[in-house]
Structure 1
């Protein structure tokens, strides 16, 4: 008997690269059929809060609110160095000057917003909008600044915008850890054996994509909002790395540090459950 599980991930190149082989039958997952759902990251965060999905990509900020019902997988996430969100404006400014200003963010539960709030007080006046609308909103003067993620890291100069801060670089200087952006979750109720199988299948899917990059291109481009090939390749190169294959000790330490800081600030609730189901 085949069991169907829902799987949520974003249409961004790193996610479609990671999950291509798994959802196209290149990686066997006996007895399991996956029903994929592609949504922007904040929509996925909200779906997970409503317990809609069995497996899903989420922001680590959202995971801080989901630890009771979901366990983190060791594979498939986005964590690294030099890949954090950027704060951009129309004209050169400082983070100090932006306190109290209106700042566009790609979602309340995104790690981008969590990093902004951890950076310091005075950045609570936020305007939530889809990540791909933020640069245009800043350009038009609808907001004072924007926190940009994903491929926007590579394209913001074309909007005439300037970088005020790299929140990922700030995190790395502050903690010494790589920056945890997003991870893959599984319902704890699926049980350790099935969760372990899924985790291994996602790692195999990434290895397949690295071994067959040309095969993945058509699927990636169908969902990448007409990005150019160089931007797609840069995006994958930045967000899919050794931590995507396995978080390892360094990745786990970074996540725990993020949660400890967020708990101390009262941004997320405390939780005694382990991150992983082993």
Structure 2
């Protein structure tokens, strides 16, 4: 069985037990580690892995081949993407000063970028100028060095952007939660239709539960894949992104996914989704 997920601490923490043969009855999978921009593409080309972590924003393009699993993903509160700048005009004038500017984002089909587009429609008259796609770990250096006017960041950048001398322009998660009252749906785990989805969900849920019960077991594995080596930052990342929704989306989680995709479809940003097919 082939699976693909990012090398970020929340993913490696969640999947450690399954990958290392610690989930009874599960096959040990063959793993591809890749950033979300790559995994979104892998799932969309029709020959992707059996199980893959993608952005919720990419779901509408892959639902013919994949179904959403109700666990293992990234969804929560207080964990949204951030818009950052080093530009003095944007620092002082706020979001409206991004009109016509260059903004770096981690993927065209990332949930971060979808949230940004929904937010920008309300907050940046006339819209931004050029969108520059960069791997997420390259965005803050690009903003700091003036190669772009602002950057949309994800993952542990929430905890480290001050070290780059950057200023927060807006928190997409805070905006989304205030606007909808719902948690933020960021990353989804999907599996090929025709597979035993119930068994897959059970293995992933068991892997999550093992990670919580034995946090020290995954520490070396998590750190060796993390692009942020400070242990305290890695732990903060895990604490924020691995939560109750990682074990089960539940009603609130599914409502958040529905709200995001339905709103984006109304704005013409994603194709309409048949929500009855979401979970297979």
**TM-score category by the smaller chain?**
over 0.9
SS in 2 for 1:64: helix
Contact 2:20 2:28 in 1 (8 A): no
Cα distance in 2 between the residues matched to 1:124 and 1:262: 20
2:124 corresponds to which residue?
none
Deviations 1:109-155 (A, max 9, x none): 11110001111331362100000000000001000000010011110
Contact 1:116 1:123 in 2 (8 A): no
For 1:205, which of 174, 194, 207 is the aligned residue? 207
Cα distance in 1 between the residues matched to 2:129 and 2:35: 22
SS in 1 for 2:277: coil
Cα distance in 1 between the residues matched to 2:250 and 2:258: 12
Instruction: Map 1:69-88; keep pairs closer than 5 Å.
Output: 69-88=65-84
Cα distance in 1 between the residues matched to 2:67 and 2:128: 30
CA RMSD of superposed structures (Å): 1.2
Query: How far did residue 28 of structure 1 move?
Result: 2.2
The alignment's TM-score, normalised by the length of structure 2, stands at 0.93
For 2:187, which of 178, 182, 189 is the aligned residue? 182
Cα distance in 2 between the residues matched to 1:118 and 1:124: 15
Cα distance in 1 between the residues matched to 2:150 and 2:40: 23
In the alignment, does 2:269 pair up with 1:274? no
Query: How far did residue 53 of structure 1 move?
Result: 1.3
The alignment's TM-score, normalised by the length of structure 1, stands at 0.94
Aligned residue pairs total 269
For 2:44, which of 36, 44, 49 is the aligned residue? 49
Contact 1:8 1:37 in 2 (8 A): yes
Deviations 1:179-203 (A, max 9, x none): 000010001132xxx1110101100
- Structure 1, unmatched stretches of 5+, are none
- Structure 2, unmatched stretches of 5+, are 122-126
Cα distance in 2 between the residues matched to 1:274 and 1:39: 27
